Structure formats: structure tokens, C-alpha cells
Structure 1
Amino acid sequence: MSTPLHADALTLLQSWTPPTAAQAALRERYVEHLRAHPDGLTRECRPDHVTASTVVLDADRSHVLLTLHAKARRWFQLGGHCEPGDRTLGGAALREATEESGITGLQLLAVPVHLDEHVVPFCGPTADVHHLDVRFVALAPAGARHTVSEESLDVRWWPVDALPDRDLDELVAHALAQSISSDSPGGGSTWAAADQPSR
């Protein structure tokens, strides 16, 4: 039986316009996964499940907040698994970003910016779990101060043109472009409260 979160994620992905052919192929992969698996957003769904993450930009979009993941020992955007109380995929992304950064008042862009499928060897008792990550963009309030959660070794602002891992370059570039586009008249995307169902 479909949950509100499952219905929201399926509607959101079906209505999303991917920026590239590769992203369009991934979107179809995600949609097929959700159609086949009513539990497809839970960590119990194996070997694949949908996750949610957020690229957090500072108020002037010159820096991005990244976490040094305690298990992976690499710098990533903030995010993780959906939880039973999440009602929207954007809400899950915002909850994870808030928990991992300690920043309240993050402003989330209501549509995804990027999709990425990757193998996670440390996700539970079985090997080769695939995270089907849906990535969003959020702006932090001016002067926001962050904290380090127990899931992280460090949390730090990085200049958008001097990232610690080249694998982040494409994601952050997409996030910057979409955040700027959404501010312009007719940009087609709006900054919204993440607990509102996707339309």
C-alpha cells in the first residue's frame, strides 16, 4: 500500500524535467523502482532504496556546506535515509540537512536538482546496497552557524570553486545554476516549505 511519502516521491519524479539524457535515464530507473516497490523509500528495501540529500548554499551562494562522513571518510552534501514520519521527499531532505548541520531556517527549493545512484558498502548487514539519491538545494540564512552531528567527523563551509572532492563539482554547479534560475522571473521553480506535498 502506497504511503503519502511514496506517492509524493513518485509524483515529484514523474513531473521533474531532467537537465540531461543521463539524468532522464536515472529518473526512469527511480520511477520504475518506486512503481515496483511500495517500500522503495525505506532502508529495508534491498538491494535498492531511495534516499534524499541537500546541497546547502550560504546566503550569497559563494560557499557550500559539506559533511565529512564518519563511515565513508569523504566529504558529501547533507542527507540520508527517509524516516517513517516523513511525508514528502523534500521534507526528508530538509530534515536530514537540518539534523546534520544544526541550522534552522533552511529554505528548500521544491524540485530536485540532481539524481545519483551509487553503491554503499556500509548500509546495513548486506553488501552492495544501492542508494537512489534525490538531491535538492537549500539556502542557509545569512550568518547561519552550523554544528557537527554524531554522524559526521566535521562539517565545514567550502568555496564553491574550491571543493574538497572533484566528484562534487557537477552537483554543486547544478545547484548554483538552479538556485539562481529559481530567483529570476519566470524561473519556474519556487523556494517552498518542504513539508508541503509536491505538486
Structure 2
Amino acid sequence: MTVTDTGASALHADAVRTLTRWRPADQDQEQLRLDYLDHLAEQPEGLFRSCLPAHITASAAVVDPAAERVLLTLHPKVGRWLQMGGHCEPGDRDLASAALREAVEESGIPDLTLLAVDGRPTPAKLDRHQVRCTGKDRPENTHLDVQYIALAPAGAQALISEESLDLRWFDYDGLPELTDDSVRDLVARARRLTS
């Protein structure tokens, strides 16, 4: 991947535009937004797995608002229940489509849509966390995750992918024990934004 790649440049420009437009409600999220923008200013290839020690990722909490439930995946590397998501790819035209692609691939639900504000898919929150996405024997690196809300049709049936140990719907008030605070916060935001 080189910075001259048109798709990579367009994705980078979209990430900058998306994060510049987005206005979080709290100071912690605002600081993360500014940190992400600094990362993108310093790293023309900062959206791809090859950018170390940190790179932007995209994810989405898949929710069925009618049933007040969220779909979570038991991640094989992390051993926790997480929202759908992962690395941006050169073919992704923007951050929102990267998050939607990951959500569809990992949920098996083809007709998801991202929650939008003024007709434009908008992040729900940002989360910075350490992972070993380059292998167990490699140093940790940082995911700068841009998190969206993906709306599933009422009664949607999920289909587990090879990227998951398990895939289940959980009531908003019945999240599993092996869920971290970041996921709980994302689900709470999804609940507020879709009710």
C-alpha cells in the first residue's frame, strides 16, 4: 500500500472529513477525536493494519431496536464479547462503509444500515485500545476504533462466520459477563440513540 493509491487517499480524506465534522458530547471523546486527527495528519497510511504502532479501525454495534437487543461476537483472539468490526481495507470507500462491511461479514445479516444524522452515517463513539492484531508473539499495537451503530431489521437472524467463536443476541440489560466497559458504553449509546 502506498500513499499514491487513489483508494487509500480517498479513504484517508474521508476519515479526516468524518472526524472533523463529528462533534462528541463529552470531553474524553473530544480528546480522542483530536488524537485521531493528529494520527491521520502524521500517518498518510494510518488507516491500515501495516501502520504501526497504531491504526484506525472501524466497527459497529449491530442492534435490533424493536427487540431491544444487540448482536455480539465472541472474539477468538480477545476472548470477550465484542461488537462487529476490524481493519479498513483498500477497497473501502469510507469509514462508514468499512464498519458496515465488517458488520455484514461478521453478523451474516445482509441488510444492515448504519444509523445516520442528517442523512449521513455518523460515529457513535471512539475507543482506543491495545491489541495484538499482528500475532500472539508480536508486540501490542493500538487500535483507534471509530464505532458506529448498525440497525438490523426486526427479527433478523444472524449467521456465525469463521471470524467468531460464537455469535449471539443479548438484551440490552442482559450483556454477558465477558464484555468490557467500552462495549457496555457503546451498547448504552446505541440504546439511547435508537429509542
TM value normalised by structure 2 = 0.88
Residues 117-162 of structure 1 deviation map (CA, whole Å, 9 limit, x = unaligned): 0000243463120000000001101221111111100000001011
Identity %: 52
1:72 aligns with 2:78: yes
Q: CA deviation at 1:68?
A: 0.2
Judging changes above 3 Å, is the alpha-carbon distance between structure 1 residues 135 and 84 closer, same or farther for their aligned structure 2 residues?
same
Q: CA deviation at 1:174?
A: 1.1
Secondary structure class of the residue paired with 1:44: coil
Residues paired across the two proteins, number: 180
Following the alignment from structure 2 to structure 1, what is the Cα–Cα distance between the partners of residues 64 and 80?
Answer: 21
Paired residues of 1:55 and 1:175 also in contact (CA < 8 A): yes
Secondary structure class of the residue paired with 1:6: helix
Following the alignment from structure 2 to structure 1, what is the Cα–Cα distance between the partners of residues 29 and 162?
Answer: 32
TM value normalised by structure 1 = 0.86
Q: CA deviation at 1:179?
A: 2.7
Following the alignment from structure 1 to structure 2, what is the Cα–Cα distance between the partners of residues 162 and 123?
Answer: 32
Structure 2 equivalent of residue 38 of structure 1 = 44
C-alpha RMSD of the superposition: 1.4
Q: CA deviation at 1:61?
A: 5.1
Gaps of 5+ in 1: 181-199
Structure 1 equivalent of residue 22 of structure 2 = 16
Q: CA deviation at 1:169?
A: 2.0
Structure 1 equivalent of residue 118 of structure 2 = none
Instruction: Spell out the pairing of 1:1-199 with structure 2 (5 A cutoff).
Output: 1=3, 3-60=9-66, 62-109=68-115, 110-124=121-135, 126-164=138-176, 165-167=179-181, 168-180=183-195
Q: CA deviation at 1:72?
A: 1.2
Paired residues of 1:52 and 1:133 also in contact (CA < 8 A): yes
Paired residues of 1:119 and 1:130 also in contact (CA < 8 A): yes
Q: CA deviation at 1:107?
A: 1.2
Secondary structure class of the residue paired with 1:126: coil
Paired residues of 2:65 and 2:194 also in contact (CA < 8 A): no
Q: CA deviation at 1:3?
A: 1.0
| Structure 1 residue ranges, 4+ long, deviating more than 2 angstroms after superposition | 121-126
Secondary structure class of the residue paired with 2:165: strand
For 1:106, give the aligned amino acid. L
Paired residues of 1:64 and 1:160 also in contact (CA < 8 A): yes
For 1:152, give the aligned amino acid. S
Paired residues of 1:42 and 1:81 also in contact (CA < 8 A): yes
